[in-house]
Amino acid sequence: MEIKTIGVLGAGTMGNGIAQTAAAAGYNVVMRDIEDRFVENGLKNIDKFLGKSVEKGKMTQEAKDALMGRIKGTTKMEDLKDVDLVVEAVLEDMDLKKKVFKELDELTRKEVILATNTSSMSITEIASVTKRPDKFVGFHFFNPVPLMRLVEIIRGYYTSDETIKISFDLAKKLGKEPIEVKTDIPGFVVNRLMIPHLMEAIWLLQENIASKEDIDKAAKLGLNYPMGPFELMDLTGVDIAYHVNEYFHKELNKELKWVSPRMLKDMVKAGRLGRKTGAGWYDYNK
């Protein structure tokens, strides 16, 4: 099956990044969200990102206009009816994901692959609400999508080899480097590696072993990481780190290592979710 038009469900940070990446690779894109303001904000963010590329001479204005012209923003679910593949990028809420995929399963052609951008949740469980679990796959991009090269391609219990192959081929056409996650485990590969080191950083801070600045410096200069754990959480969302860790605690036999530090819970309660709210572990409004 030739893929010409990609549907993206969600126009937030991940959704508009996926839409931009697909359009940059020459695909037509239908980006859908529940309200006009979310769609408009998503298109505005893409326009802003591309505008900087034009300013730096990395692309022409004509190329930018052509790319933007390949993205259709909408609030209508039925506008996804004729797409050739759908990538879902809604909130990390299992009930919400099941709801939208049940609707997509009834709306789209039976041969269309349905993909979820979930960073941690069970592919098999989400796929269970569809009549095509063999054509359901995890397609996990990383933030910021246009710049991060990795994509995790995750098998659900029934995901077919053909679906994996098509997903790999698409990822490469999008300019990404895919890896296959062979078993549908919570967090897949990257988050299973990343979340423990984020939590350990918070425990070090909470126990007053070192300041967040020094912990970030240690990770960057001692481990050669491009960002420290607190800088990274502020970029990707403090709340995301919390929700993923809570999910791990629930799914992985409530192991002690997955208990969220009190300081992390307090940050989420205070609304200090990172750059997107202007303050997280660091302040960005100064």
* 197 has catalytic annotation: no
Write down the H helix ranges in the chain. 13-24, 36-55, 61-69, 94-107, 123-127, 161-173, 190-206, 212-222, 229-236, 238-251, 262-269
* 191 has catalytic annotation: yes
- CA 263 to the chain's CA centroid: 25
74, 46 in Cβ contact below 8 A?
A: no
186, 251 in Cβ contact below 8 A?
A: yes
Half-sphere exposure of 157 (CA within 13 A, CB side): 6
Amino acid 132 reads R
Active-site residue, from 16, 119, 167, 245: 119
* 260 has catalytic annotation: no
Active-site residue, from 120, 122, 152, 260: 152
Active-site residue, from 16, 117, 140, 245: 140
Active-site residue, from 167, 191, 245, 260: 191
* 249 has catalytic annotation: no
Residues with active-site annotation: 119, 140, 152, 191
